[in-house]
Amino acid sequence: PTLNSALFANGLVDEVFLTIAPKLVGGEDPLTIIKGPRLPSTIHLELRSLVELEGELFLRYAVTPSPSGRGRG
């Protein structure tokens, strides 16, 4: 998760693939795909595809330019 944080913070991510599985996991620590310092700005994503297979969802997102026009992130 800390590598993801560095990649996003430096504008090096152009796509994000997420899988949603019908499973619940317990524990005290929250699960996150981005761990580390707060990102400089909100990352905006645009859904490009969604596939359902055997109850799981596979999502593909494109990282889109920020509304401020400063590029990714």
- What range does the domain containing 46 cover? 2-64
Question: How far is 34 from 10, CA to CA, in rounded Å?
Answer: 13
In order along its 73 residues, the chain shows pLDDT tens digits of: 689 888 998 889 999 999 999 998 888 877 788 888 888 788 899 999 999 999 999 999 999 976 655 444 4
Give the CATH number of the domain where residue 23 resides.
Answer: 3.40.430.10
User: What is the edge-to-edge ordering of all strands in the sheet holding 15-20?
Assistant: 15-20, 56-64, 44-53
The model's pTM is 0.76
Q: Does residue 71 lie within any of the structural domains?
A: no
Task: Look at residue 38 and tell me if it is in a domain.
Answer: yes
47 is a domain residue: yes
> Is 70 inside a domain boundary?
no
Domain count of the fold of the chain: 1
Q: Is residue 73 part of a domain?
A: no
